[in-house]
Copies of this chain bind each other. A is one copy, B any other.
Amino acid sequence: MPHDTAEPNQFRKVDVKTALQYGQASGLAPLASWVQQFVTEAMIPEAPYTGGLATTMTLGNTDGFSKALEALSNTWIEGRQPIGEREGILCEEYTFMGGVSTARARGLNITPIKADHEGMLAYGKGGLADILENWDASTGQRPHLMYTVTIGQNPTGAIMGPKRRKEIYELCVKYDIIIIEDEPYWYLQYPSAMSGTHLETRSSTGSSFLDSLLPSYLAGDYQGRVVRLDTFSKTVAPGCRLGWLTAQPTLIERIQRITESSTAGPSGFVQSLIAELILGPDARDSKNSAKSSGWNNAGWCRWLEGLRGNYERRMNTMCDILDQGRDVISTPKRLRFPSSSTIDSWDIVEKTPAYRFNRPGAGMFVWIEVLYENHPLTAHFAPADLAAALWVLLTHKPYLVLVMPGAIFGPTVQIVKESGWKFFRLSFCADEDEVISRSTTGFINGVAAFWQMRDRDEVQALIDEAHAEDIEREMAAMSPGFC
């Protein structure tokens, strides 16, 4: 990167001198301008906005979400304001707790909606329509905000198809709900897992990679009620703290005013590095990719497609092993064949599924439901205790796997108690294939060993270990799982 350039046009000026001065809240001009162009011309050309979508740089999606809430909600303080003034926010049944924490800190009423492998349910018991139609006003106002991750949802890996998306959007129109769509995993949509699941052709974006991705809520946002969060955390590095927010221009202007009086713009150091990566040191040629030394749109899409390929391979590595380990040996049974049979009476054993999961169509996570009701000691322990025991066992030698307990993704105490213990979230994002293979094998071996346990004292010892103060503290301190 040059120290300074004579380039008079700030939108093409990528140099150290500019990056290290005070910047605009909207972001470093060349980078912000590339983001604007990439979003409106390549990512979401279908957006039905008369004047076009607007964008502004953020410090990543946690920051983007926090600022969207600042712009779109009023804080509420228990004991100080009546419950009738309390605003609310809808989210998936299991969700990224970083988002929930931000909303909870503002006093918002967190309202989870039942979800399946396509994410939030539009209809049916506990679905969006059900919750809104039968709103319980004793908990606060009916919500006008929604926090949702529709692609590779954290933690469930759910991916929302176009039909569900339209249903949800129309309910948001009916009940006047602003959708805050947090999509850090949007680029990680796996062709192998999704074949046949999403079938609408996108309008051509000029990139076969982008054409292969399910469109954003913004693509059909004819009422301007969608705020979308994108980040470089999952595509360049989490430590960047850099992303952007896309919405209607009026809201973007408000977000920029909020930025000026809170964080100021993102660090010039990271903005200039990423601008140089994408636009090259000679940003003047950015419109002409043949001449430019930067990646530009085509190079950026190739990078994203490469990332997707890597994660897809890791996902399949993990899921292939999980498939192998699903059915575990339960109680061996005596054969009922006649004794004249040549088959040894212990040769055949009953196999029972220890867990189930969907191969994720997107994202970085496998969400596993453990079937404790199939465990030989199920009659002797509460299933939540069996879950705690298994979690501890997995951390022991030789398994040495740390899985995220489902409970830490439950946005309400009720969900945590009712079903949080059923789930583990496994992540295939942070390591090489070999490590993923070893850890997942550790997981299935640990599960198999757990299903072999017959000694109640042994299980009780694991439960006691889980409830020991230091482990509980450690679990409480666990990151709600950025990654």
A contact set with B: CB distance below 8 Å: 19-23, 59-60, 62-63, 66, 74-75, 77, 80, 98, 101-102, 105, 233, 237-242, 257-258, 260-270, 273, 479, 482-483
Contact = CB atoms under 8 A, between A and B. Distances in A.
17 contacts: A19-B239, A20-B237, A20-B240, A21-B238, A21-B239, A59-B59, A59-B267, A63-B262, A66-B261, A75-B75, A105-B261, A241-B265, A241-B267, A241-B268, A269-B269, A269-B270, A270-B270
Contacts of A60: 264
A20 B239 contact: yes
Given A20-B237, A20-B238, A21-B237, A98 B261 contact: yes
A105 to B, nearest CB: 5
Contact of A66 (B105, B238, B263): B263
Contact of A264 (B241, B257, B264, B268): B241
Contact of A98 (B260, B267, B479): B260
Contacts of A260: 62, 98, 101
A432 to B, nearest CB: 13
Nearest to A236: B20
Nearest to A105: B261
Contacts of A77: 74
Contact of A239 (B267, B479, B482): B267
Nearest to A274: B269
Contacts of A270: 267, 269-270
A261 B273 CA distance: 26
A27 to B, nearest CB: 12
A439 B295 CA distance: 42
Each complex incorporates copies of this chain amounting to 2
Contacts of A98: 260-261
Contacts of A268: 237-241
Contacts of A75: 74-75
A80 to B, nearest CB: 8
A102 B233 CA distance: 28
B239 A23 contact: yes
Contact of A266 (B241, B258, B273): B241
A59 B268 CA distance: 12
A261 B20 contact: no
Among A23, A263, A267, chain B packs the most CB atoms within 10 A around the CB of: A267
A187 to B, nearest CB: 18
A395 B261 CA distance: 29
A66 B20 CA distance: 22
Nearest to A23: B239
A123 to B, nearest CB: 32
A258 B257 CA distance: 20
A257 B66 CA distance: 13
Contacts of A105: 257-258, 261
A482 B101 CA distance: 32
Contacts of A258: 105
B19 A269 contact: no
Contacts of A267: 59, 239-242, 266-267, 269-270
B479 A22 contact: yes
A340 to B, nearest CB: 65
A80 B101 CA distance: 25
A63 B102 contact: no
A414 B237 CA distance: 49
Contacts of A59: 59, 263-264, 267
Contacts of A265: 241
Contacts of A241: 263-268
Contact of A269 (B74, B240, B261, B263): B240
B264 A269 contact: no
Nearest to A24: B479
For the complex of A and B, list the 10 residue pairs with the smallest distance between their C-beta atoms, beginning with the closest. A239-B268, A20-B237, A20-B239, A102-B261, A66-B262, A241-B267, A269-B270, A267-B267, A22-B238, A101-B261
B22 A239 contact: yes
B264 A273 contact: no
Contacts of A240: 20, 267-269
Contacts of A80: 74
Among A80, A102, A260, A269, chain B packs the most CB atoms within 10 A around the CB of: A269
